[in-house]
Structure formats: C-alpha cells, structure tokens
Amino acid sequence: MTGYETERQASKEFRSVYDALPRPPAAGEVTRINAQLLSRACTDAHVELGSYDRKILQWLAGWEPGTVGVVIGLVARAHASGQAGRP
C-alpha cells in the first residue's frame, strides 16, 4: 500500500470517514465518530494504547475527517508493512 501524494487521493481512500457521519452531524458527532474510527484502527493494528495515547487520539479526533482519515491510513499501512515483514 503506497502513501498518499495528494489530498484528493486521501479523501477518495477514506471516504468512509465522511460516510460514517450523519447528515447533518449534531454537535460533537464528528469528534465522537472520528474517535471511534481512530480507536478501531489502532485495535485492528493490535496497537496497545496507554492513557496518554488515548488522550492524544481524543485530541486528534477533533480535527476534520480528512486529517483523521490520513492518520488511520498511516496506522493501517504501518500495520500491513509489519505483517509483511518490511521495515
């Protein structure tokens, strides 16, 4: 899995982040869903989280879904790379 070269690639790849949001999202709903998706990405990648990690993920969840999608992609690609035995 290669990295994103443009914002357009990232937004196409992680359209599911936007699709998970209700229309229109209620106050706090974007952050809540972003937090769930970030947490799921870490769980899927078998990342053990500490309390400070969770604090930072909650902070990151306050960013727009496109940014969160890129971070989710980074976690997924790092996990896939590790599974394939690549450095």
Count the domains in the chain. 1
Residue 48 lies in a domain: yes
Q: Cβ atoms within 10 A of the Cβ of 78, count?
A: 14
Q: Which residue has the higher pLDDT, 2 or 65?
A: 65
First to last CA, the chain: 14
Domain span at residue 75? 7-83
SS3 content of the chain, % helix, strand, coil (to 5): 65, 0, 35
- 15-70 per-position pLDDT tens digit: 777 777 778 878 788 999 999 999 999 999 999 999 999 999 999 999 988 889 89
Residues 6+ apart with CB under 8 A from 2: none
The predicted pLDDT at position 36 comes to 93
Q: How confident is the model at residue 87 (pLDDT cuts 50, 70, 90)?
A: low
Contact between residue 43 and residue 76 where contact means Cβ atoms under 8 Å apart:
no
Residue 2 lies in a domain: no
Q: pTM of the predicted model, to two decimals?
A: 0.80
Q: How confident is the model at residue 13 (pLDDT cuts 50, 70, 90)?
A: low
Instruction: Look up residue 47 and give its two tokens.
Output: 């990342």
Residue 59 lies in a domain: yes
